[in-house]
């Protein structure tokens, strides 16, 4: 048995025969030609055919993985038509008097090397896109038919790397999983794989020799492990794990795609809470209607210096594109209290839970806030992003936030940078915000109730102090009444109100929240389906009739 470690792109277990996929690099010879115009015309005709192929791939991907994920093929079309790329090929043909194949291959090498040397991760990944479009052109120029990944039985596909065009052509009925030596968790291919729900590993250090082709393999997408020719004990253990996963999938399939509507027709939005892009796979797997809380502070906590605007933009854009038009609510940085960053150089506080944290940092250090807002506004042009501001206690804070947002929009406009018009919401997590929620509702598009801090502040109990556990009551009537009050005030002002704290995932309270008229529950991805089950089985009016009071 051989064991290899890789980075997980999508979880789950796949067991089957291994099929080594080799692209068979196209050999390109440098041939001197006299008729440069004819050779240039060959290149233009190949480009036309490539554009037609990409258009077909776009339509196929649109049906299978959604508009945002199909966009890679539009990007490839744009790259084919890029003036710099086209002019490079044409210039090599005319000045060096060489064949179109050589000119394309040389341009591909030059551009891929240029992208690969860039500091930005997103731009480095474009090197693979350049090679992908160039390989497509070379196939056409060589007169080869477009080939996908073929298998005569369901198999684990092992490759050096898989281009997005190859991934979308996978026959899902014949592919159990794929394992690649190279690749990035943020690449278009990885996003497509997650959307297609194919267990996958990238960055797996293995040799692509013929010895493993046809052998039994196991992909443990959960733990990032690839077993080749597993021993009987490992095979038996992983088959049991796979059986458990399949049983869970059966439950998933029965509830997947169903609307979150009660027996008497009340609708509720079920969204997911995530901390980073790695969580997106479980969001999609559990059929969340959107992301109700993206904790952007983890971008800051995972670094030893302030993340740049471009770094943040690429993360927010990827999340928005992956969610393919579903609402993505991104909370602005919530640093402070139990989440500390040394490079913020915050003064030591006796009571950090009530100190300079969250929106208070943003309003007192606007340079940090504006960098994040620029990234968020830019990313909102690529999906349905909403921005949510934490730890609000006054109308004045909200109005100051809106002023800063307006300043950032003016800056972007003056610089000719595209941006969207995202919804603006706030978290209700202080008693002060609850008591003036009628006033706050006039200023924003939505509320999201952060029950963790709200309970802490309402009960005057430090939720980080385990010695106070016996006094901490998440179901305290005061907390539930405050939630009900916030929902009522939101509806009076014509906006929606949700819950993104831990209480939203408490199955004992799901029916109570439905009765209160809560519009949205945002929970950890694994809680989506259990809550959906309760929603589908509940008659809200009957529940209200049998349960009076909070």
Active site residues: 188, 500
Whether the Cβ atoms of residue 188 and residue 72 lie closer than 8 Å to each other: yes
Residues in the chain: 550
Whether the Cβ atoms of residue 338 and residue 463 lie closer than 8 Å to each other: no
Q: Which two tokens stand for residue 492?
A: 């009076």
Residues with Cβ < 8 Å from 64, sequence gap 6 or more?
168, 196
d(CA 255, CA 538): 15
Whether the Cβ atoms of residue 92 and residue 106 lie closer than 8 Å to each other: yes
Q: Is residue 436 classed exposed, middle or buried when 0-12, 13-18 and 19+ CB atoms within 10 A define those classes?
A: middle
Q: Which two tokens stand for residue 479?
A: 């907390």
Residue 469, φ and ψ in degrees, nearest 5:
-55, -35
Closest CA to 399 of 434, 439, 346: 439
In the sheet that holds 2-5, the strands lie side by side as 2-5, 225-228, 216-220, 13-21, 155-159, 175-180, 200-202, 7-10
Whether the Cβ atoms of residue 406 and residue 412 lie closer than 8 Å to each other: no
d(CA 208, CA 152): 20
Q: b/e for 114-153, b at 16 or more Cβ within 10 A?
A: ebeeeeeebebbbbbbbbbbbbbbbbbbeeeeeeebebee
Closest CA to 397 of 429, 374, 352: 429
E strand or H helix at 228: strand 225-228
Residues with Cβ < 8 Å from 335, sequence gap 6 or more?
297, 300, 301, 341, 344, 346, 357, 358, 361
């Amino acid at each position: 048995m051989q064991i290899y470690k890789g980075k997980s792109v999508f979880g789950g277990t796949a067991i089957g025969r291994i099929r080594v996929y080799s692209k068979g690099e196209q050999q390109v010879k440098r041939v001197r030609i006299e008729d440069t115009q004819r050779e240039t015309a060959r290149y233009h005709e190949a480009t036309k055919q490539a554009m037609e192929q990409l258009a077909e791939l776009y339509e196929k991907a649109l049906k299978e993985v959604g508009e945002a994920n199909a966009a890679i093929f539009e990007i490839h079309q744009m790259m084919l038509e890029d003036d710099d790329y086209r002019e490079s090929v044409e210039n090599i043909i005319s000045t060096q008097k060489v064949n179109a194949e050589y000119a394309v291959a040389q341009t591909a090498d030059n551009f891929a090397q240029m992208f690969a040397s860039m500091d930005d991760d997103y731009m480095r990944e474009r090197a693979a896109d350049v090679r992908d479009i160039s390989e497509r052109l070379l196939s056409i120029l060589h007169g080869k038919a477009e080939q996908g990944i073929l298998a005569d039985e369901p198999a684990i596909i092992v490759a050096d790397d898989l281009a997005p065009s190859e991934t979308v052509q996978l026959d899902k009925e014949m592919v159990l999983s794929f394992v690649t030596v190279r690749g990035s968790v943020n690449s278009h291919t990885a996003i497509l794989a997650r959307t297609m729900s194919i267990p996958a590993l990238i960055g797996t250090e293995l040799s692509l020799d013929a010895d493993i082709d046809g052998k039994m393999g196991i992909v443990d997408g959960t733990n990032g492990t690839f077993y080749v020719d597993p021993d009987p004990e490992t095979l038996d253990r992983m088959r049991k794990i796979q059986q458990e996963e399949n049983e869970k999938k059966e439950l998933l399939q029965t509830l997947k795609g169903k609307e979150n509507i009660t027996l008497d027709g009340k609708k509720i939005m079920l969204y997911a809470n995530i901390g980073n892009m790695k969580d997106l796979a479980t969001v999609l797997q559990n059929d969340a209607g959107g992301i109700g809380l993206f904790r952007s502070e983890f971008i800051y906590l995972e670094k030893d210096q302030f993340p740049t605007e471009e770094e943040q933009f690429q993360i927010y854009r990827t999340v928005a594109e992956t969610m393919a038009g579903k609402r993505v609510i991104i909370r602005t940085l919530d640093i402070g209290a139990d989440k500390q960053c040394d490079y913020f150089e915050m003064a030591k506080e006796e009571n950090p839970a009530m100190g300079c944290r969250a929106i208070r940092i943003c309003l007192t250090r606007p340079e940090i806030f504006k960098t994040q807002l620029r990234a968020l506004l830019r990313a909102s042009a690529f999906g349905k992003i909403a921005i949510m501001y934490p730890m609000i206690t006054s109308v004045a804070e909200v109005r100051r936030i809106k002023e800063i947002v307006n300043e950032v929009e003016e800056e972007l406009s003056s610089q000719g940078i595209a941006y969207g018009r995202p919804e603006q919401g706030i978290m209700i997590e202080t008693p002060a915000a609850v008591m003036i929620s009628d006033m706050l509702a006039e200023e924003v598009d939505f509320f999201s109730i952060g029950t963790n801090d709200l309970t802490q502040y309402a009960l005057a109990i430090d939720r980080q102090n385990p010695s106070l556990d016996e006094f901490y009551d998440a179901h305290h009537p005061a907390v539930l009444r405050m939630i009900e009050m916030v929902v009522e005030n939101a509806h009076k002002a014509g906006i929606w109100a949700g819950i993104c704290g831990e209480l939203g995932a408490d199955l004992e309270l799901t029916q109570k929240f439905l009765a209160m008229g809560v519009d949205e529950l945002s929970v950890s991805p694994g809680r989506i389906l259990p809550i959906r089950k309760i929603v589908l089985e509940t008659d809200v009016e009957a529940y209200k009739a049998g349960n009076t009071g909070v």
